[in-house]
Structure 1
Amino acid sequence: MKHAALSRTVIGGLAVAALGAGLLVGPAPASADPYQDAAGNGPTATMVIHPVIDTDTIGTSSQQRTWASTLGVRNAGGLDAADSQASYLQFNVSPTAVPGTVVSARVVLTATPDSTAPAGTQLNSAFVSDDTWNGEQVTRYDPIFTLTGATKPTATDIAGSTAPLRADRGAVRYEGDVTSAAQSENNGDGRLSLRVWTADQNAAVQFHSDDHSIGDNRPALLVTFRPTTGRDKKDAADAAKDLADAREYLRRLGPVRHDVALPSTGIHGSRLTWSSLDDQNLNDRGKVTRPTADLPDADVALDLKVSDGSVTLTDRLQVVVPRDPEAKAATPVDAALRPVAVEREVTDLISQKWGTAFTPVTPPTQVLTREIPVAPGQSIQAAIDGVAAAGGGVVRLGAGVHPLTSPLNMQSTVTLVGAGQDHTVIQYTGTGSAITTTLKQIQDVVMKGFTLEGVKGDLGGALGIYFAGADPESAHHHRIALQDVTVKNFPGHGVHIKRTTDLLTDHLTSMYNGERGSLFHNSYWLFDNRILQSDTQLSKPVLGKGAKYTSTSDVITQRMQIHHAAGNGIQADGSNDVRIFFQKLNISDVGKSALWMICEIFNNPNQYTEDPAYAPNYVIINESSFVGNLRGGVWKIAQNVLVRDSVFDNIRNDLILMKSSPEFENTKFEHAPEYFTDNSQVPAL
């Protein structure tokens, strides 16, 4: 994507930003109250609100929907014709989102560069009174629903919303007046659902959706409102100025080659919160890591939230991080699996508490005497098949981007090694799973030194790495290792391994996965035993959890980090979920619970299960930190839990304990643990 330019205009002596700036403030009135005119009404302000969700539907298809990468509008013979397409958007216009009285509202959609509809094509908006098409999941990070032509919610055309496509600041846009509907919903449930369509026969338009679009390209609702209190008026004005300043600051930076200062406070007092969608190249604190000469420039989406009192404005900005032609050239990566040492304190505690019941992981056996090199564009699968047929060996991926459109079928005793995470990228655009196997049992597989990247917003919902043994007891996979591997941007699981014995991950980064739904995670281990995870980064899952452990045993995680999750950080559950050791676990800023250890059966999570067999048993948490989460932990019937030398400092609760009585040693709490003996008394979670 190209950098979104910021357009600025001077109105009444005040500089205001264009569409993507978040809020436009009118001229200061001449009165004793700088936020109120002579009539006592005060000036109006215009907020830019982005969708809670947007998608489209074609004819009478019944595909499950989530965020769409683009929004299609097409008239192929009536709204319900087989090839006709309509776009649906929902905006939050509740009083908590709009701090004042709605004066007017306009929906704005921007056509993509490949849209073929000519300027002048007429479009219109209709009001959708039935919001249940959203499945009552109305947050930005958790919408899944079914929207079909046969069951499309009834929509009523909004008078004045019909308008043509027009050229605007180098783009083509539709701007429809939806004031009456916005006013109604501002006084109602606050959810403004719209359908955008065209009555022009044979007209077809493709619009940018809110899925990773930048700045002015994002769908928007421009709501002009009159703040109700002096405090709201000032908050709105200050937040608007600070957001406009932030956009201008990034625009002036241009392509960034060095670390960027991302301020936490605007000069007008607003609180600024930044969230990068690509930590590899630019993290939330502004640290820049330029792509190597082997890779293309990075276009990094950077979400910004500006909060001032009752007003919160959001925008998605863009920073271009150019590749570094002078970066150190790729050097051959040793294909041999690097030994992973378990911290001495971990082995000592396991010996004291669990004795010989705990079985440590066995690493894979490798064949390193045979190699097949693969350059970008050459067949990785042919090389895998070749070394496997010869009895095992190494497939060595060269530096650069390796496009992949169909799953890699791994074989036993194969090591897949790249030139390093910063030099070799496997870019997967297919369906199913990027790296998997068709074998019922596979063994001695090593993946090392590369980045595996999916496509965000892909409704096909591909997974990154997926291995599943044929049977939980009699037909496990054996000895699989991931070392120095990054997995990102997969709508399904990033890494999902089940029915496997002996799993080793070392310096694994799995981030931005799980967009397909709350049941998809950065990593998911199911019916696995003997797991060692060291120096693992599992932050920013889109919908699901950083890590999920179901029916796992003999697990050691050391130095794992999970930050910024909308839901839970870690979930542990399932029958025989036993002997799990968390060493130096660091979880922060998750929207629900940092560590969710429950007794609900994993395949029926909505029914409480009063059975200790389905709860984690024998768990040690040592030298760990749970800070800034909504809750530090919710543990139900978790037995034989020891917490040592750890810190809990969370927003609402540190620990909610349902029939669980952990042993605490030298552990600090901001809120005292809360104990319950009846699940009906446990606070709503």
Structure 2
Amino acid sequence: MKHATLSRTVIGGLSVAALGAGLLAGPARASADPSQKAPGNGPTATMVVHPVIDTDTVGASSQQRTWASTLGVRNAGGIDAPDSQASYLQFDVSPAVVPGTIVSARVVLTATPDSAAPVGTQLTSAFVSNDTWNGEQVTRYDPIFTLTGATKPAATDIAGSTAPLRTDHGAVRYEGDVTPAARTENTGDGRLSLRVWTTDQNAAARFHSDDHSIGDNRPALLITFRPTTDRDRTNAADAAKDLADAREYLRRLGPVKHDITLPSVGRHGSRLRWSSLDDQNLDDRGKVTRPTADLPDADIALDIKVTDGSVTLRDRLQVVVPKDPGAKPAAPVDAALRPVAVEREVTDLISRTWGTTFTPVTPPTQVLSREIPVAPGQSVQAAIDDVAAAGGGVVRLGPGVHPLTTPLNMRSTVTLVGAGQNRTVIQYTGTGSAITTTLKQLQDVVMKGFTLEGVKGDLGGAIGIYFAGADPESAHHHRIALQDVTVKNFPGHGVHMKRTTDIITDHLTSMYNGEANSLFHNSYWLFDNRILQSDTQLSKPVLGKGAKYTSTSDVITQRMTIHQAVGNGIQADGSNDVRIFFQKVNISDVGKTALWMICEIFSNPNQYTEDSTYAPDHVIINRSSFVGNLRGGVWKIAQDVLVRDSVFDNIQDDLILMKSYPEFENVKFKQAPEYFTDNSQVPAL
């Protein structure tokens, strides 16, 4: 199916009422008509807001919590009783979402079919002060919020919020008036944190959460507000309608088997930005790749950002891409490593600029005459051990899901090959690292043709692929290659190698890694020498960077893409970080700096180091693009940097240079580079 053009496509024929008819209807509810008059106070507008986070907690202990699949409340003898359960929800009611004065706000929860509480059960809402329910890693797939305090977080009952469960349009719902708290937070930091609990002794209820749900069963905050200006009223109404249209559009599509249109403009003029959390099966443009018959259906979270003037609304929706039982079997993947050619322009520039000081990568040696097949459910480790003991060979993973609960211990001269990235999945649910080694010097390893997948939301710190030589001088790993491999959904690094020489990555996709904290990245090279990266996709790290190079040398990166990052796209730092070539690197839409080359010591990044030893030296950036990021580059004492035929077009700054004086040849800037000689004068970053 030919993919539709997105430039001005809009979703038509839907309205906000299509989503919220059950929630907004009825004589006791505020009208969805933005022109409704409030007596003596001008027109009001109405919107439906869904949670930033919702969860529940049991007992009298502090807990780290993420999204809960359902929300529970139970009165087992007081709010702090060991078996009592309370639900917590946080909504964004900042002026960017609600641009005006809140007239009324009502929280609505819908009971699940298995909820035990009868109609008439009383529930109440309480306001949780924001310093006792703090957001951590809120951009994660499963955002974390910490419920602190000696027992459950302190909360103050909201007058008027006590109400019974009642039947409403075929569903059982609780609806509590939380207007005073919403008003306070609308003029405060914008975070409205609520606790919902039942006041009836021994009563227990269960509600739908916002975890991947679509439609009227989602927890909601129904807000009527008086816009600050007529323009705000129009923006809010249009953004809400376009978001509702998007939700309903996906709901009507149901499971998708072909490419879909993800519009860039809503019917009411809002700008729509989509971000898939599984590009393998559905990318940001709506291109669909169905899993093969050997794999499960793909359940995909799809984020949407709706912007209309002063108003920005965000939501997480869900798309199911069913597996394709009719997919034709693919030809077996050739276990031999394909040669990776370096672009002629790169080799010419290296020869002209660095001469013979640059040492190119050496590929692994393979043994292809010996092969052991492994079907899903059989031991991959046993096959690795067998071919290694025989002097090397190929472990061939069959199509399907290979579950893995303990780390694979790689051995030298072993090739691990699957049936293709969309056919063979190693699904890791253990701790530590999914693929690693106990050898002090691992060598001649090839991994090819599979997907390595961790668990979203599991903060155990697992890393996808981790190899570390025993000694920085005498015991490096040697000659390791990844080709046609996807690594995703690991809370730690996707790929991390250190004290390793001769690394090749070709058509490596490492995405959605680094959930645990900002020190984990899609790829991290530490104390490594001679690296060749070709056709690499390192977009959407959850908290860390797309790529980090610390104390690396003789690096060629050609045709790399990093798109959407909360922080920096690439970071290069550390002693002896020398001879790095970026060819056709495209970095866009990162929240901080696209290319961050600094002199701070990596082990103490908060302390400025006035020492060029710790800054990248001998860097070439050729035919690259840094567009739509907050900043294009921040380079501190980076020496001998050549930038050619590249584009900088960013939001705040294109290039901040601290005692760094690059040479530019045919480089386009939106804003002129800024030069500094005193680090204290460098803008806050």
Length-normalised TM-score, structure 1 = 0.89
Residues in 1 aligned to 2:151 and 2:582: alpha-carbon distance in whole angstroms:
48
State the alpha-carbon separation in 2 of the partners of residues 246 and 38 from structure 1.
29
Name the Cα RMSD after superposition: 3.2
Partner of 1:247: 247
Q: Does the CA-based 8 Å contact 2:98-2:236 persist in structure 1?
A: no
Tell me the residue number matched to 2:329. Answer: 329
Query: 2:661 and 2:307 mapped to 1: Cα distance?
Result: 40
Q: 3-state DSSP class of the match of 1:269? A: coil
Whether contact under 8 Å (1:20, 1:215) holds in the other structure is no
- Per mean C-alpha deviation after superposition, the further-off stretch among 418-427 and 256-265 is 256-265
Question: In structure 2, what is the Cα distance between the partners aligned to 1:562 and 1:595?
Answer: 11
SS in 2 for 1:654: strand
Rounded Cα–Cα distance in structure 2 between residues aligned with 1:116 and 1:408 = 45
Query: Does the aligned pair in 2 maintain the 1:593–1:632 contact within 8 Å?
Result: yes
Unpaired runs of at least 5, structure 2: 1-12
The match for 1:552 is 552
- Residue 252 of structure 1 and its aligned partner are, at CA, apart by 3.0
Partner of residue 6, structure 2: none
Structure-to-structure mapping, 1:208-227, within 5 angstroms: 210=210, 212-216=212-216, 218-227=218-227
Distance 2:580 2:36 in 1: 61
| Distance across 2 between alignment mates of 1:526 and 1:146 | 32
In structure 2, distance between residues paired with 1:71 and 1:440: 48
Alignment partners' CA distance in 2, 1:98 and 1:555: 49
Instruction: Determine the structure 1 residue equivalent to 2:406.
Output: 406
User: For 1:418 and 1:282, how far apart are their aligned partners in 2?
Assistant: 22
Aligned to 1:7: none
* CA distance in structure 1 between the aligned counterparts of 2:426 and 2:110, rounded to whole angstroms: 32
* Greater mean alpha carbon deviation, residues 564-573 or residues 92-101: 92-101
2: CA distance, partners of 1:574 / 1:84: 51
Give, in whole Å, the separation in 2 of the partners of 1:429 and 1:79.
35
Cα distance between partner residues in 2 of 1:141 and 1:162: 33
Alignment partners' CA distance in 1, 2:37 and 2:517: 48
Per-residue displacement from partner, 1:369-391 (whole Å, max 9, x unpaired)? Answer: 22111111222222222222222
Alignment match, 1:312: 312
For each residue in 1:95-127, what CA deviation from the matched residue of structure 2 results, as whole angstroms up to 9, or x when unmatched?
232112112223345567787777776554322
Partners of 1:59 and 1:80 within 8 A in 2: yes
Q: Aligned ranges for residues 468-487 of structure 1 at < 5 Å?
A: 468-487=468-487
CA deviations on 1:53-92 (whole Å, 9 max, x unpaired) are 4455555656656666666656666555566555444332
1:563 has 2:584 as partner: no
Q: Distance in 2 between matches of 1:412 and 1:119?
A: 65
Tell me what 2:9 maps to: none
CA-to-partner distance for each residue in 1:486-526, whole Å, 9 max, x for gaps? 11122222112222222111000111112222222111112
> Which residue does the alignment assign to 2:594?
594
Q: Residue 470 of structure 1: CA displacement?
A: 2.6
1:232 counterpart SS class: helix
Q: Which residue of 1 aligns with 2:490?
A: 490
State how far apart, in whole Å, the 2-side matches of 1:563 and 1:543 are. Answer: 13
Name 2:17's counterpart in structure 1.
16
Kept in 2: contact 1:21–1:240 (CA 8 A):
no
Residue in 2 that maps onto 1:346: 346
Q: Offset at 1:294?
A: 2.5
Could you tell me which residue of structure 2 aligns to residue 423 of structure 1? 423
Q: Residue type of the partner of 2:577?
A: D
Give the Cα–Cα distance (whole angstroms) in 2 for the partners of residues 630 and 22 of structure 1: 39
Report the counterpart of residue 512 of structure 2 in structure 1: 512
| Structure 1 Cα separation of the partners of residues 143 and 605 of structure 2 | 19
Equivalence map 1:141-540=2 (5 Å):
147-148=147-148, 150=150, 153-163=153-163, 174-198=174-198, 210=210, 212-216=212-216, 218-540=218-540
Deviations along 1:470-496, one digit per CA (max 9) or x if unpaired, are 333333222221110011122222112
Determine the C-alpha separation between the residues in 1 that align with 2:351 and 2:522: 31
Corresponding residue of 2:102: 102
Q: Compared with structure 1, are the counterparts of its residues 77 and 384 closer, same or farther at alpha carbon in structure 2 (3 Å cutoff)? A: farther
- Distance in 1 between residues matched to 2:114 and 2:404, nearest whole Å: 24
Amino acid at match of 1:636: K
Deviates more, 1:420-429 or 1:230-239: 230-239
Mapped partners of 2:115, 2:440: distance in 1: 46
Match of 2:634 in 1: 634
Q: Matched residue of 2:290: which SS?
A: coil
Distance between the aligned counterparts of 1:657 and 1:162, measured in 2?
A: 58
1:646 paired to 2:651? no
**Cα distance in 1 for residues equivalent to 2:116 and 2:471:** 52
SS at 1:549 equivalent: strand
CA contact (8 A) 2:633 2:654 kept: yes
Deviation for aligned residue 1:94: 2.2
Contact 2:80 2:151 in 1 (8 A): no
How has the CA–CA distance of structure 1 residues 545 and 215 changed in structure 2, closer, same or farther, with 3 Å as cutoff? farther
| Larger mean Cα displacement after TM superposition, 384-393 or 395-404 | 384-393
- Following the alignment from structure 1 to structure 2, what is the Cα–Cα distance between the partners of residues 138 and 298? 23
Aligned partners of 1:153, 1:266: CA distance in 2, in Å? 40
Number of residues paired by the alignment? Answer: 670
Correspondence for 1:6:
none
Amino acid in structure 1 at the alignment position of 2:383? A
Q: 1:40 to 1:67 in 2, by over 3 A?
A: same
User: What SS is found at the alignment partner of 1:260?
Assistant: coil
Contact 1:60/1:80 (<8 A) preserved: yes
Shift of 1:182: 1.1
Within 2, Cα distance between the matches of 1:570 and 1:629? 12
Report the CA distance between 1:328 and its aligned residue. Answer: 2.6
Deviation, structure 1 residue 144: 6.1
Whether the 8 Å contact between 1:582 and 1:620 is mirrored in structure 2 is yes
8 A Cα contact 2:212 2:301, kept in partner? yes
Deviating more after overlay: 353-362 vs 448-457: 353-362
Segment drifting more, 528-537 vs 404-413 = 404-413
Shift of 1:593: 0.9
Query: Could you say what secondary structure the match of 2:474 adopts?
Result: coil
CA distance in 2, matches of 1:385, 1:172: 58
How far apart are 1:230 and its partner, in Å? 1.6
Question: How far apart are the structure 2 equivalents of 1:113 and 1:511?
Answer: 37
1:342-382 alpha-carbon deviations (Å, 9 max, x no partner):
11111121122222222221222222122111111222222
Secondary structure of 1:35's match? coil
> 2:672 maps to which residue?
672
Q: Is the 8 A contact 1:59 1:149 kept in 2?
A: no
Provide the rounded CA distance (Å) in 2 between the counterparts of 1:189 and 1:621.
Answer: 42
Cα separation, partners in 2 of 1:485 and 1:209, compared to 1, 3 Å = farther
Contact 1:491/1:513 (CA < 8 Å) preserved in 2? yes
- Residues 92/38 of structure 1: CA separation in 2 closer, same or farther (3 Å cut): closer
- Report the alpha carbon displacement of residue 325 of structure 1 after superposing the two structures with TM: 2.9
In 2, the alpha carbon distance for the partners of 1:650 and 1:99 equals 28
Q: Once the two structures are aligned, what percentage of the paired residues are identical?
A: 86
1:2-49 per-residue CA deviation (whole Å, 9 max, x = no partner) reads xxxxxxxx9xx98613359999996588xxxx8363856444333333
Is contact 1:52-1:140 (8 Å) kept?
no
Q: Report the TM-score, using the length of structure 2 for normalisation.
A: 0.89
Q: 1:556 to 1:81 in 2, by over 3 A?
A: farther
Question: Quick one: distance in 2 between partners of 1:234 and 1:365?
Answer: 65
Number of the residue aligned with 1:658 = 658
**In structure 2, how many angstroms separate the alpha carbons of the residues matched to 1:567 and 1:658?**
20
> What letter matches 1:334 in structure 2?
D
- CA 1:315–1:137 in structure 2 vs 1: closer, same or farther (change >3 Å)? closer
Going from structure 1 to structure 2, the CA distance change for 1:59 and 1:249 (only over 3 Å counts) comes to: closer
Q: Deviations over 1:439-486 (max 9, x none)?
A: 333222211101112221223343222222233333322222111001
Distance, in Å, in 1 between the alignment partners of 2:394 and 2:255 is: 38
**Aligned position for 2:684:** 684
- SS of alignment partner, residue 534 of structure 2: strand
